[in-house]
Structure 1
Amino acid sequence: MLLATGVRRTHFVVVTIGSAGDLFPFMAMALTLLDAGHRVSFLAPEQHEPYVRASGLPFIGLPADPAVLLDPDLWHPTRGFGVVWRATRPAMAQIVPFVDALPADEPLVLLVHPLALPEADLCRARRPGLKVAAAYLAPQNLPTVHDPLMLGPWPVPRWVPLGMRSWLLRRLAARFIDPVALRDVNAARQARGMPAVPSMLEHLFAVANLSITLFPDWFAPTQPDWPKPLLRADFPLFDPNPDAPLSRELEYFLEDGQGTRPVVFTHGTGNTQARAYFEHARAAVELTGLRAIFLTPHREQLPSELPPSILWQDYVPLRRLLPRAMVLVHHGGIGTTAEALRAGTPQLVVPLAHDQFDNAARVAALGVAFRAVASRLNGVRLARGLQQLLADRELIARCRRISRRFALGQGMQAVRLRLETLAASADAPADASINR
């Protein structure tokens, strides 16, 4: 069946995991495909059903155990990947039977989170010509031996030769990734009659027919060892309810500052273990005499009593709040980072795990952010970081220059067009040479 534009109507199965930061970019792509007339099935953790169904996307819930948010290793710099991997396997196991049950003659493309790539490849056992696109939310999800090379929280100096960098990256994967994931992947491949793979990272890079970066070239230039073909898109910056009105108490608080903007503190919607962070934030606010907004859906992790200079909010669209903020202090999640860049808001980043160290290094290199070490954080150090940030007289000008770049990027329509091109090639034999 052809759409009015002459493009073949395709069934796009969109799969993501994780928190709202993972969900919203995939919703942005899925909605663009749906609006173009394609059939879309959206597979995501079941707790996100209200967001997805309200948008009009057909939702298929995947099992999710909320207890994972309580695992102390979730935010550990090196053990965090293992927690995420084990927590997502029951959900990812649902992809294969879902795809197997679809009509064999239906034009089909999978658009997936990188951690769903092993299961996407399993689907090819019964659909050999199946096309798979992987969407990468942050540069750290595309490891490279080129700069900046971050091994968790540890930066590799620029003078280290490429050969040594390759060895370090292989060692990192062999120690922290392969022992966690490779046995599961190869057991599933054996059950589908597929050969074992020797390396998790090499396997992930070989699965997709198309890789998409949901961050622009000016934030992370294309590296020679990234997979090809590669589409460079922009930050999606999607919010399911971007025009939600600010609460009355928040409006009063913002207007009551007599021209002094507040500092916004958050540590991510999925972080239920940020009690110490918010205690340090309260101490820093009192030491500096600033006003602050504590942004978290988990009120129980805040100090029981907050002074009048601090307002708690469970959720506020960052695109509406940040233009009225002095500084954003946060964990370095890619969605939060991008919203601050767009708003031109100075950032103090306190990374914990996953892609956060790399994101923090990039905004610091852009000259729009300072970094703090989470393991050594206290109220005095946090206050000092805020004072140093606010003392940088050129910072605001740099933030504004970066903010203006957001009018130049490739939006979701570029992603849709490239996915339609991929779908049009679905009947052609797979060419393994372009997948590596």
Structure 2
Amino acid sequence: MTSSATFDSSQPLVIVAASGTGGDMYPFITLARGLQARGQQVLMLAPAYYTALVEAAGLPCRSFATPAAFQSMLDDPALWDERRGWGVLWNGLVPYLDALRELVRQLPAQQQCVVLSHPLLLPMADLARSVRPDLRIVGAYLAPANLCSSYDMLCAGSLSVPRWVPLSWRQGLWSMIHQHMIDPLMLPGLNARRNQHGMVPVPHFFQHMFEVPDASLGLFPEWYAAPQPDWPQSLRCVGFLPAESAVGAAALAPELEQFLAAGEAPVLFTPGTGHQHAADYFAAALQALQRLGRRGLLVTPHRAQLPAQLPANVMWLAHAPFSALLPRVAAIVHHGGIGTLAEALRSATPQLIVPFAYDQFDNGLRARQLGVADMLLAKRLSARGLQQRLQALLETPAVAEACRRHARTLKSAGGMAAILAQVEGALFAR
């Protein structure tokens, strides 16, 4: 699907390429809106599943993959398996690897363009260089785990890696993961497509991903993850994106306001917007709330994961603006998505992180190191585990103080204008 928007070919076009669940999409939509507000011509490239969301944000959109194909990926329980999830994501993307190349090929020859890309789409962006060799590409990393540092390796999936483990062992562990798990899965489809366009094959997927961008951005602050010797040399940390909805500020619904006013601050549970297989998670949440004698909010767009009847002191929400809601809750239990984690930090809300896959394990460990969170692996989830950890979080003064301290740090940081200035600097080599 091609956007009907027309662009001034005498001015640069910024293509913002993103994919993944809502937690992946919202930051890129926010960046695209910000760049557009600063006078840049912006076009988003995203799965057709998100076309309505992108257009509601006032952005022109070029889409790839059918909504049905993307929904099929979300329907696969393996998407949230720490070993098999990467395969589900990548196999869903391989048929559309030429999407950005085709978009660039169709632009007028005199149209200058630059690309701001989600890490997983960087190989797709590099394919576009077969038609425009001088294409400038900037990678934007949502979380430090995506950078695979051996120097700052806190975990390998759900396996924690203690600080005392020698560097050479950590390097060997990453090498084994890439050689035996990542590369055999990702490289055949990618190199087959590169071969079609006369491009040389790449031997290592993640190394290729790091080498594609002309510049790289970390969408997190240095106090959350300090730069490491094995990060891409060009990478600069710009900080967490300020709190704002991808489609603008939103108020709490009247029914939610009523619920919040009717009793003590509830505990909020969410496994993430894209998780459709969290029935056990919510069952454990309801039991933990009963044990604690606490009120609860269950946030998921997938109502079928919940019992038909909920207790009177528990409310279901399909969606909620966390920037407005989190200051009103006692704690949040979530999957460890970086956006949710950052919002909880900003609102000084204690966090219990239940990671399933991807960067969630690393994010959970970092939040725990900051003193604002505890962690319970999803594969060890139980009502008793939730109850015990939540009780400790809510009753420990040091947790509340750490939450307040990091909220002050975030509030004193530069705002969106400062972040966008750095993004523009990377895009236009200023």
Would the TM-score normalized by the shorter structure come out above 0.5? yes
Deviations 1:344-387 (A, max 9, x none): 00001110001100000000000000111211212122111211
**Separation of aligned partners in 2, 1:287 and 1:422:** 51
- C-alpha distance in structure 2 between counterparts of 1:424 and 1:402, whole Å: 32
Letter in 2 for 1:377: L
Query: What secondary structure sits across from 2:256 in the alignment?
Result: helix
Corresponding residue number in structure 1 for 2:311: 307
Aligned mate of 2:32, from 8, 14, 30: 30
The CA deviation at 1:415 is 4.4
Instruction: Tell me which residue corresponds to 2:200.
Output: 195
Displacement of 1:419? 4.4
Note the alpha carbon deviations across 1:137-177, whole angstroms, 9 max, x for none: 11111110012432111122212221221111011111221
Structure 1 moving runs of 4+ over 2 Å:
88-93, 240-245, 407-426
User: 2:251 aligned with 1:230, yes or no?
Assistant: no
Give the alignment partner of residue 360 of structure 1, picking from 339, 342, 364.
Answer: 364
Amino acid at match of 1:247: A
Following superposition of structure 1 onto structure 2, how do residues 283-322 of structure 1 map, counting pairs within 5 Å?
Answer: 283-322=287-326
- Aligned match for 1:93, one of 91, 98, 101: 98
2:378 alignment partner in structure 1 = 374
Structure 1: segments with no counterpart, 5+ residues: 1-7, 427-436
Q: Deviations over 1:173-204 (max 9, x none)?
A: 11221011111111111111111111111111
Higher relative contact order (CA 8 A, sep 6+): 1
Q: 2:260 aligns with which of 254, 263, 268?
A: 254
2:326 counterpart letter in structure 1: L
Counterpart position of 1:15: 17
Matches for 1:60-75 after TM superposition, within 5 Å: 60-63=62-65, 64=67, 65=69, 66-75=71-80
Within-5 A mapping of 1:27-426: 27-63=29-65, 64=67, 65=69, 66-236=71-241, 237-257=243-263, 260-425=264-429
Partner AA of 2:207 in structure 1: E
What is the DSSP-based 3-state SS (H/G/I as helix, E as strand, rest coil) of the residue aligned with 1:394?
Answer: helix
- What value does the CA root-mean-square deviation take over the aligned residues? 1.7
Distance change in 2, residues 1:358/1:422 (3 Å): closer
Say whether the 8 Å CA contact 1:9–1:37 is kept in structure 2. no
Residue 12 of structure 1 aligns with an amino acid whose one-letter code is: V
Shifted more, 36-45 versus 405-414: the winner is: 405-414
Q: Between Structure 1 and Structure 2, how many residues are aligned?
A: 417
**Cα offset for 1:132?**
0.3
Identity of aligned residues (%): 42
Question: Shift in Å at residue 340 of structure 1?
Answer: 0.4
Amino acid at match of 2:92: A
Structure 2 unaligned runs (5+)?
A: 1-9
The whole-number CA distance in structure 2 between the counterparts of 1:422 and 1:288 is 49
Structure 2 distance, partners of 1:241, 1:189, is 36
Cα distance in 2 for residues equivalent to 1:238 and 1:173: 36
State the alpha-carbon separation in 2 of the partners of residues 241 and 417 from structure 1: 21
Amino acid in structure 1 at the alignment position of 2:123: P
One-letter code aligned to 1:327:
A
Question: Retained in 1: the 8 A contact 2:14–2:40?
Answer: yes
Normalised to the residue count of structure 1, the TM-score between the two structures is 0.92
Distance in structure 2 (CA, Å) of the matches to 1:94 and 1:123: 9
State the TM-score, normalizing by the size of structure 2: 0.93
Distance in structure 1 (CA, Å) of the matches to 2:238 and 2:164: 30
